[in-house]
Amino acid sequence: MVKLVLLHKADSIYEDEPDAIYDFPKAYLKAAKEAVGDWILYYEPVKAGPRGYFAVAKVREIIPKPGAADRYLAIIEPNSFLAFDRYVPRLLKGRPLEASLMEADGSPKKGGSQQLAVRRITEADFSRIVNLGLPQDLEAMEAARYEAKPYVVDEPAAVFERPVIERLTRRPYRDVAFRRTVRDAYDYRCAISGLRLRNGGGRPEVEAAHIRPVERQGSDSVRNGLALSGTLHWMFDRGLLSVAEDFTILVSRNKVPSEVVNRLVVSDGKLRRPKDERYWPHPANLKWHRENIFGQEISIGPSPWDE
């Protein structure tokens, strides 16, 4: 097995869905097959945007792309994709983060190696980039985020492979990373009520909801998330609310009183989405929620409005 860097451009002719599939030509088939069962980094090239290294995922298998000659799909392992908490720049103090892109004097190589859509990366470089994008102490950072004393982040003195992989697969860590990226994408505003509330200490009163639950093969991508208030999160998870293809908010009106709808749902009935269209809810995730959760006979227990 080998770790890879995969170039991704949002407007590419290749039909990538970073949390599900990576579309690539036959020229990269050998390297892609070597990565089956291992982890990859997603990288945005200079001409595509500012993000640099922006996510990590694991390759489950490689298959021919149906209906496309000499094209292949890297199928991403469910529940493995995780966006970085902070974008990792292409250069750090003028030096590439990949040894294969660096001259002997530390300067960036010139030529085509930086343009390869699929390139191998060493274990050490992979770990370093993940540690920069997903800090080992992310949970402590989040826990102390709204305390009076600021949390000081120091780059670890040493990087080891084992803690990196443990972190990428540990659910509590992934939940924190998902919550931070979703709430940030929505600017801490509830997508259904439109409200941006904070408590007395400045802590945002908005949660990160999975559209398709992780236990039902949903990913930790921002496109599988919604920023919702606690009550609306509860209602969404229990099928009392959903979202139509045109982003109209759907309400199970035989179960939700009109006065509750009037108080909790934005007046124009349209979902509030991130400014960056790349982070809008994916239509396939919304469709899954409508077909599998919305209006289903899910045990909901006491309603918040009955308390």
200, pLDDT greater than 90: no
Q: Is 158's pLDDT higher than 50?
A: no
Are residues 268 and 234 located together in one domain of the fold? Answer: yes
What confidence tier does 298 reach under pLDDT thresholds 50, 70, 90? low
Q: Are residues 204 and 150 in the same domain?
A: no
Same domain, 231 and 160: no
The residue whose two tokens read 């390869």 is: 116
The answer on 192 and 91 residing in a single domain is no
Residue with token string 């991508």: 221
One domain for residues 183 and 164? no
CA distance 70 to 118: 15
- How high is the pLDDT of residue 189? 95
pLDDT tens column, 12-44: 888 899 999 999 999 999 999 999 999 999 999
For residues 11 and 149, membership in a common domain is answered with yes
| Same domain (yes/no): 289, 189 | yes
Are residues 141 and 232 part of one domain? Answer: no
Counts for the chain of helices (H) and strands (E), in that order: 8, 13
The pLDDT score that the predictor gives to residue 16 is 92
pLDDT digits (tens, 9 = 90+) for 111-141: 666 678 899 999 999 999 999 999 998 998 8
- Are residues 203 and 143 part of one domain? no
Mark which of 111, 139, 169 sits at the end of a domain. 169
Rg of the chain over Cα atoms, rounded to whole angstroms, equals: 21
pLDDT the model gives residue 253: 81
Indicate whether 31 and 107 sit together in one domain.
yes
Q: Are residues 123 and 203 in the same domain?
A: no
| Whether pLDDT at 257 is above 80 | yes
Strand partners of residue 58? 39
List, for residues 47-69, the tens digit of each pLDDT value.
777 889 999 999 999 999 999 99
User: Dihedral of CA 254/255/256/257: which sign?
Assistant: positive
Count of the separate structural domains present in the chain: 2
At residue 302, what are phi and psi to the nearest 5 degrees? -60, 135
pLDDT of residue 159: 42
| Residue 123, domain CATH | 3.10.590.10
> What residues make up the domain containing 229?
178-306
**Could you say which DSSP state residue 301 is in?**
-
Same-domain check for residues 96 and 195: no
